[in-house]
Structure 1
Amino acid sequence: MRPDSEPCAVYVQSNQRDGNQLLCFRTSPNGVLWGPGPIATGGAGDGTAHLASQGSLALTGDGRRLLVTDAGSDDVSLFAVDGDGPEAMGTTAVGSAPKSVTEHDGLVYVLNTGDPSVCGLRLGAGGLEPITGSTRPLEAGSDPAQVGFSPDGSTLVVTQRMADAIVSYPVGADGRLGEPRTRSSSGRTPYGFAFTDDGTLLVVEAFGAAEGRAATSSYATAGDEVTPVSASVPNGRSEICWAVVSDDNRYLYTTNFADSGVSRYAIGDDGSLTLDDPAAAVGIDGHSGLRDEDLSADGRFLYALDADSRQVFGWSVGANGTLSAIGSWGGLPPTAAGLAAA
C-alpha cells in the first residue's frame, strides 16, 4: 500500500512564527511512520525552540478532532481527523500565549501562559464556542505547565512549576469551574502529568533541571482533592518532561530531556510507583532533546519528539511494558513542539 494512502497517526506542530503548521505522520500496521506532511493551522507559533508546554496539541476522546494551540497568535486551531486527512475547521481566540489544551466529552479547557489563566470552550458541529464566564486567572509568576481533565471529567488539574503546586478545580455541569484547591507538589518543579483510568494522578518533577534529580510522584484523587501516595520517586535522570500511562494502566513512561532516556515506572493497584527501568528506551544516547510523547490509541506503540535532533522516535510496547525501537523520522523544523498519537 502506498504511504500516502495510510492514515495519519502522529501529529506534531511546527510552532513557526510566520505560520504554524500541523505536521502529520502517516503510519503502517507495524508502527513505522512516513512524513511529515504539513497543513497550515491558520494561526502562528511563537517561533521558539523547546516550547515550554505540556499538551500543546491534543486529540479529543473520540479521536475525531484535534486541537492545536497557537502560542504566537493567541488562539486554538481545530482539525477534523476522522476522514482521509486532517481538515482545518478554523481558529478561536482564547488568551495570551496558549500552550496546553485538554478535552473531555466536548468540553475544552486551554491553559494561557501569558496571562496566566485557564478558559473553557464547547466543541460543537461548527467548531469551538467560548463559555461565558469560564476564564479563571492563575497566580502571577506561577509558571503553569499543563492543564488536564480527570478521567471522569469532574476535575480540572493545572501544574505550576515556579509555585511548586498542583491546582485542582471541580467542573460544573455548565462547564464552569468551582473554587480551586491548591496543594504543594511532593517534589520541586511539577511539570507534565497523566491519569490512570481509576483516577490516580502521576506528576513528573524536574527539580529545577538539577542533574540526576528527576522524579515522579503519584496522588489519589477524590473529586478535586489530591492526596499523595508515592512522593518523589527518583529515576536518576535529568530534566524529566512528559508522562503517559500504558494501555493496561500498569506502567508509566516518562521522557528525560537532558539525556534522551525514557524511564518506565510500575504502577501498583493502590496507585504507588516503583521505578522499573530508568532507561527503558533511549533516543540518542547522551543527546538532549527528548520530550513530548504519546501512545497510539491501541497502546501498541510509543512515540516521542526529540526537539534537538528534529526527529520523532518510535518503539513497540511489549507485554511486560518493554520498549523495542522501530525507527526514527526526521524533517522537522527546530521549533517543532507537542505530539499526539491516534
Structure 2
Amino acid sequence: MRTDSAPSAVYVQSNERDGNQVVVFRTSPNGALSDPGPIATGGDGDGVPHLASQGSTTLTGDARALLVTNAGSDDVSLFAVDGDGPRARGTTAVGSAPKSAAEHDGLVYVLNTGDPSVCGLRLTGGGLEPIAGSTRALEAGADPAQVGFSPDGSALVVTERATNAIVSYPVGSDGQLGDPRTWSSSGQTPYGFAFTDDGTLLVVEAFGAAKGKAATSSYATTGGDLTPVSASVGNGRSEICWAVVSDDNRFLYTTNFADSGISRYAIGDDGSLTLDDAAAGVGIAGHTGLRDEDLTTDGRFLYALDAESCQVFGWSVGASGSLSPIGSWGGLPATVAGLAAD
C-alpha cells in the first residue's frame, strides 16, 4: 500500500488504434471520481471494443508504477506514479498483442495473446528491462486470458480459455520460469483470477458465454500443486470474466458482462466459496457491459468499467461486504479497457 502523499486515482486505457492513452480519474474521500485526463502511452491499442483480458492496466504492488499493455503496437508502457500524477517512462517491446501484465517485487511478466507466450522484465530505475531468455511459449490456440503471480511470487499462473486449463510456472530467483504444470479447470472457459493472501487461487469460469452458467472455483496451492476446494460454484448469471478479492480476504467480487451485475462470494478459512449475493452491485440493470474491476488499496471502494455505456461505476464497500453505489462517470471511448484503482 502507498505510504506517500500521492493522490488516489482510477486508471483505464483507451485502447485506441491511432494512439493508446491512459485515462486518469482522481478520487475524492467519498469515492467520487473527477478530472479525467488522458495521457499518451506511447503505443497503440488494437482499436477493438471489449479487449479480452484481465490485467491490461495494472498497478505494481507498491502502487508506485502503472503498467499498460498496448495490444496494437506489441509493447507495454510504464508510468511512474507520484504526487504529480503518472509520468510516462517509455515503452518496451514484449511480443504479439500483449493484453495482461503482472508484477511482484520488481519482476514483471506480460501475457502476449498473438503468439501466445509470456515474457519477463525487470522494473529498474531506468525503466523496464527485458530478461534474456525469459519468453515461454504457451500452447498454440490456448486463448490465454490473464497472467498473475502467487502472493509470495514463487509461481506465475496463466488461464487458458480454449484449452480449459490453468498453467503454473515456478519462478526462480533470477526471474526465469521453470517447467510448467498444467491442470484442468474445474469449469469451462477459465478467465480472470485472483489470490487470497494465503495463496488460495480463485478462478472465474465463463462456460463459453452460456446463459446462466457463470461460476467460480477455488484451489489450494501447496508446494506447486493445485488442488480444487470448491468446484464451479454458480451464480446463475452469464459471462463472468473478472475477479478481485477484498482486502480482508473474506469476499470475492466478480463481474458478469452479460447482465451488468457484480456477484459477491464469501471465502471460507479453508478457501471454500459460497455465493453470498448474485447481484451485490448492478451497473445498468438489464444491459450488458460490466467487465474490468478493482478495489482501492484501502478496500473502501470498488470500481468497475462498463464497456457498453463507456462509463466507470463505483460502490462503497461495507463491513459485511455489501456494495452501495456512489455514482458513475463517462465520456470514455468505445474501445476502453482495463481498470486499476489506487
TM-score computed with the length of structure 2 as normaliser: 0.98
Residue 236 of structure 2 is matched in structure 1 by 236
Residue 73 of structure 2 is matched in structure 1 by 73
**Counterparts of 1:41 and 1:121, CA distance in 2:** 18
Q: Is the aligned partner of 1:126 residue 2:132? A: no
**Counterparts of 2:196 and 2:214, CA distance in 1:** 21
How far has the Cα of 1:230 moved from its partner? 0.2
Residue 170 of structure 1 is matched in structure 2 by 170
**Counterparts of 2:255 and 2:55, CA distance in 1:** 14
Q: Tell me the secondary structure at the aligned position of residue 259 of structure 2.
A: coil
How far has the Cα of 1:6 moved from its partner? 8.8
**Counterparts of 2:221 and 2:151, CA distance in 1:** 11
Residue 248 of structure 1 is matched in structure 2 by 248
Could you tell me whether the CA contact under 8 Å between 1:6 and 1:28 is conserved in 2?
no
Structure 1 segments unaligned to the other structure (5+ residues): none
Look up the equivalent residue of 1:26 and give its one-letter code: R
Q: Tell me the secondary structure at the aligned position of residue 81 of structure 1.
A: strand
Residue 224 of structure 2 is matched in structure 1 by 224
**Counterparts of 1:183 and 1:7, CA distance in 2:** 41
Q: Tell me the secondary structure at the aligned position of residue 208 of structure 2.
A: helix
User: What does 1:323-342 correspond to in 2, within 5 Å?
Assistant: 323-342=323-342
Output one character per residue of 1:215-274: Cα deviation in whole Å (capped at 9) or x when no partner.
000000013211100000000000001000001100000000000000000000000000
Could you tell me whether the CA contact under 8 Å between 1:157 and 1:169 is conserved in 2?
yes
Look up the equivalent residue of 1:145 and give its one-letter code: A
User: What does 1:98-247 correspond to in 2, within 5 Å?
Assistant: 98-247=98-247
Look up the equivalent residue of 2:104 and give its one-letter code: H
Q: Tell me the secondary structure at the aligned position of residue 16 of structure 1.
A: coil
Could you tell me whether the CA contact under 8 Å between 2:6 and 2:83 is conserved in 1?
no
Could you tell me whether the CA contact under 8 Å between 1:148 and 1:156 is conserved in 2?
yes
Q: Tell me the secondary structure at the aligned position of residue 82 of structure 2.
A: coil
Residue 46 of structure 2 is matched in structure 1 by 46
Could you tell me whether the CA contact under 8 Å between 1:56 and 1:100 is conserved in 2?
yes
**Counterparts of 2:226 and 2:23, CA distance in 1:** 36
Residue 22 of structure 1 is matched in structure 2 by 22
Could you tell me whether the CA contact under 8 Å between 1:220 and 1:271 is conserved in 2?
yes
Q: Tell me the secondary structure at the aligned position of residue 258 of structure 2.
A: coil
User: What does 1:283-298 correspond to in 2, within 5 Å?
Assistant: 283-298=283-298
Look up the equivalent residue of 2:139 and give its one-letter code: E
Q: Is the aligned partner of 1:317 residue 2:317? A: yes
How far has the Cα of 1:84 moved from its partner? 1.4
**Counterparts of 2:223 and 2:298, CA distance in 1:** 28
Residue 61 of structure 2 is matched in structure 1 by 61
How far has the Cα of 1:35 moved from its partner? 3.2
Look up the equivalent residue of 1:216 and give its one-letter code: T
Look up the equivalent residue of 1:257 and give its one-letter code: F
How far has the Cα of 1:191 moved from its partner? 0.2
Count of residue pairs the alignment pairs up: 338
Could you tell me whether the CA contact under 8 Å between 1:238 and 1:259 is conserved in 2?
yes
Query: Considering only aligned residues, what root-mean-square deviation do their CA atoms show, in Å?
Result: 1.0
How far has the Cα of 1:57 moved from its partner? 1.2
**Counterparts of 1:87 and 1:222, CA distance in 2:** 39
TM-score computed with the length of structure 1 as normaliser: 0.98
Identity of paired residues, percent? 83
